Homo-oligomer: A and B are copies of this chain.
Amino acid sequence: MTLLALNLAGTFAFGLSGALAAIRARLDIFGVFVLAAVVGLAGGIIRDVLIGIRPIALRDWYYLAAVGAAAAVVLLAHPELERVRRPIDVMDAAGLSLFCVTGAIAGLEAGFGAPEAVILGVLTGIGGGILRDVLLGKVPVVFRRGLYAVPALVGAAIVVVAYRAGARDLGFAVAGAATCFALRLAGLRFNLDLPTPAPVSKRLRGLRPRPEPR
């Protein structure tokens, strides 16, 4: 019950971020609904297809309702929402934290090994954002800058290691999600990026990797 509520909150937060991205990219109303659904649901759908089960987002109408509501809120209030990036970033971080943990648990319960379950957790968290960027014709931001996948990786790994060690109580799920959340917020606060290797051709010409404008 609590888990469902948290999952829906995460889906809603991801839906807001997708709908706002759609408006920024000048998509029409249909595109706004689709992008909300893509960011909110695609990570879980990809996970369920890989696991081999019917996607939960298409079994339980709550999830569709959550992204539909997110798109509707954005259509009605996007001028206000575009000004409040920070709260939305926090909600998005909450969504990421929940999804990496629930995704990893879904993988474990479907019988996947530990590294595969971690990957399924990360994919649940970042898959929707990757598909959003691909649909908008951009190289996914999660591959280029910011600290986004690593928090999800750490959160999923905590749950998976605990689970494989026999500790299957909710405490470790909470610990994993909280760690992911804290790392993600720290990354936002301090503008942390992962290192970007410099290609040789640029290096020969004496150029250094130049961060793209945010």
Given A134-B134, A197-B78, A116–B64 Cβ distance below 8 Å? yes
Task: Tell yes or no: A203 within 8 A of B by CB.
Answer: yes
Given A50-B45, A58-B112, A200-B78 in contact, is the A143-B24 Cβ separation under 8 Å? no
Q: How far is the CA of A6 from the CA of B26 in the complex (A)?
A: 35
Is A180 among interface residues, defined by CB-CB distance under 8 A?
Answer: no
Residues of B within 8 A of A136 (CB): 139
Copies in the complex: 3
Contact yes or no, B75 A31, CB < 8 A: no
Interface string of A26-69 (1 = CB under 8 A from B): 11111110110000000001000111111100110100100000
Q: In the complex, are the beta carbons of B135 and A61 less than 8 A apart?
A: no
List 17 A-B pairs, Cβ < 8 Å.
A26-B196, A27-B144, A28-B144, A29-B195, A29-B196, A31-B142, A34-B143, A50-B54, A52-B53, A52-B54, A61-B116, A64-B115, A78-B197, A79-B200, A79-B203, A136-B139, A137-B139
